[in-house]
A and B are shown apart, each in its own frame.
Chain A
Amino acid sequence: MSESLLDIRNLNVSFQTFAGTVNAVRGVSLTLEKGETLALVGESGSGKSVTCRSVMGLLSKNATIEQGEILFRGSNLLAKSDKEMQRIRGKEISMIFQNPMTALNPTMTIGKQVAEPLRLHQKFSRTAARRQAQELLELVGIPSSTKRLNDYPHQFSGGQRQRIVTAIALACGPEILIADEPTTALDVTIQAQILELLKELRHTTSIIFITHDLGVVANVADRVAVMYGGRIVEIGKVEEIFYNPQHPYTWGLLRSMPTLDDKDGELYAIPGSPPDLLSPAPGDLFATRNEYALQVDAHYEPPLFQVSPTHYAATWLLDDRAPSVIVPEAIAARRQYYRQRQTGLTAKEGLL
């Protein structure tokens, strides 16, 4: 097997807080291949942002990487010095942050900000960097870019600012782009435009896309990792996660999304609230919210069971000894579609 572009192995990150140690990421392993878009899904506190910030070397001071390796083209990023990381950050791996309102410097013109990584990493001359900055703005769809180079962030709308942030991230032609909830703060119409933009990039750049919106995931991702309580609970190709989900948490997420169909009734809600990572209960952290929890869940965390060569899920339901359960109706429909899809019985037009 060829080497992955990014290979995170058994990452464990903890934070020292006044209240005690928080184990935010507990044994996360994942790979990112060249040219693919991987979506990291989960609610706040599930560890998705911490995982990505570890890759960027941007963890706060009270964070400790307890264990693990992050291999970027074979070399461990965690072993690199700050100087070496500065050369990689923004050049080979770059990041788009959630809030475009705060990610830009309000006192610097857009032209300067887009040109900054080029001046820094590529040692471009001022004029060459400016010319390149203009081309980048054109690429991300900022009209009349020559004139707008001299404008300040407040003169742009939210969607345009997110495009500018994207242009900065793309300036040096990074191999990996980490997008941390890039559309959560935007309106749906603007979100659709930013997603189009990111999809155009995928031939040249590998993308890690953090979000909690499964609709967005279905739109952009090739592969999906679902995180809960600092662990990956299910990972697989996008069609495996959406049409053949195995973990009850993934079921819950899918069921709580409003769908196109006409069934009015009540919206499914995952009961309870996110787990307390300060004093985690023994066993599976999702067990208290899980209507399919088995007795074993109270004592042991499930390992990742293999469903297919590309699909893994951490639920005891996949163990040979587990009783068979009745899958929720909406999930059963998804699975049936999956079977039809596998055997070529459907035209792959979606569930409707």
Chain B
Amino acid sequence: MTTNISDLLRVEGLTQTFKSGTGIVKAVDNISFSVYEGETFGLVGESGCGKSTTGRTIIQLYKPAAGSIFFDGVNLSGLRGKKNWLQFRRDVQMIYQDPYASLNPRNKIKDILGEGIDVHKLAKGAKNRNRQVAELLETVGLNPDHANRYPHELSGGQRQRVGIARALSVQPRLIICDEPISALDVSIQAQIVNLLKKLQQEKRLTLLFIAHDLSMVKYISDRIAVMYRGKIVELGDARKIYHSPLHPYTESLLSCIPYPDPDLEKNRRRIIYHHHEEASGSLHQIFPDHYVYCRPSDVAFYQQKGASKEAGGLDLVSITPTNTGILEGVVE
């Protein structure tokens, strides 16, 4: 590994709006972040927070309303020419949430996997194409015989493996995983998370992992950004976010995850987050590589909060910045 970490993807001031019946909805509101080469970046939040919109805008399924997206240093809004776009489409691939809807039911698995290979002319002849398909199936833990099957013959977990194999078929550099496990059974979720983790390490891939389940995201991500109402409210190292969250929304999200431990569950307090619009808020660095959305005047407070949490002394869950009153109710 090189010591110099480079941004493979950089998002600057991205805003995305949608027209609705009554007006304009700001789905993503002026967010900025970088994804480093070779890392897994988790994007977490509740439904409607804009995490999927962010992923879809990055892969250019939508044109951004404002802001820029840089891939490998190139601003995508300035990307011209069929050849360049083809290269971008090859470099950035996506895995979708619903393994039932994202595979063409009329195509055999070998044609689903072969389509990208054909488009990018990666195979020399039919024999070579079949070999590549077989290798892809083996990589994701499926039997090469599956190539001649149709999607309906496979289970949900197997289909999601096909979805992963399809993304890998064109040897991408960045894969955007849009809730790849939330439609799967618990026993299968762990299989897919482990597979993605293994592939990421073996193939030196960069992953943008979008999910609403913070506990699974922790297992796969190096860094996590927590989104709320179109904004990133906290961004930092996955373990830091998980063990000493600073923003009250992150704390609330973590406090709501139920754990398979009845005695613990009986005694846990859930924190309810009440939203307060902070007009002058923006993402501020609290510690190196740990950012929180707040007002400039609250930076010192969060620094102190983080330090106490690290020390493991005070229970600062219920302490909030003075005069903002972010946390109001605490329920059991």
Contact = CB atoms under 8 A, between A and B. Distances in A.
Interface of A: 43-44, 158, 187-192, 195-196, 212-219, 221, 238-239, 242-243, 252-254, 256-260, 262, 264, 266-271, 273-274, 341, 348-352
B167 to A, nearest CB: 20
B259 A218 contact: yes
Given A43-B186, A239-B263, A256-B186, A188 B256 contact: yes
Given A267-B219, A269-B187, A215 B257 contact: yes
A132 to B, nearest CB: 27
Nearest to B198: A266
> Which of A191, A219, A243 has its CB near the most chain B CB atoms (within 10 A)?
A219
Nearest to B249: A189
A262 B238 CA distance: 11
A26 B212 CA distance: 35
B270 interface: yes
A189 B331 CA distance: 12
Contacts, number: 130
A214 B186 contact: yes
A213 B265 contact: no
B189 to A, nearest CB: 7
A215 B252 CA distance: 17
B289 interface: no
Interface residues of B, number: 44
B212 A242 contact: no
Given A212-B185, A253-B187, A267-B190, A188 B197 contact: no
B188 interface: yes
B76 interface: no
Interface in B209-243: 212-216, 218-219, 239, 243
Contacts of A187: 46-47, 212
A190 B48 CA distance: 13
Interface string B136-163: 0000000000000000000111100000
29 contacts: A43-B188, A44-B156, A44-B185, A187-B46, A187-B212, A188-B46, A188-B214, A188-B256, A192-B258, A192-B270, A212-B185, A214-B186, A214-B260, A215-B259, A215-B265, A218-B258, A218-B261, A242-B262, A256-B186, A257-B186, A258-B219, A267-B194, A267-B219, A268-B190, A269-B190, A269-B191, A273-B157, A273-B188, A351-B261
Contact of B190 (A256, A262, A274, A349): A256
Tell me the interface secondary structure of chain B in the complex: helix
Interface of B: 46-47, 155-158, 185-191, 193-194, 197, 212-216, 218-219, 239, 243, 252-253, 256-267, 270, 272-273, 331-332
B267 A349 contact: yes
Contacts of B212: 187-188
Contacts of A214: 186, 260
Contacts of B214: 188
> Which of A341, A348, A350 has its CB near the most chain B CB atoms (within 10 A)?
A350
A240 to B, nearest CB: 10
B262 A252 contact: no
A266 B187 contact: no
Given A187-B212, A239-B263, A273-B155, A256 B270 contact: no
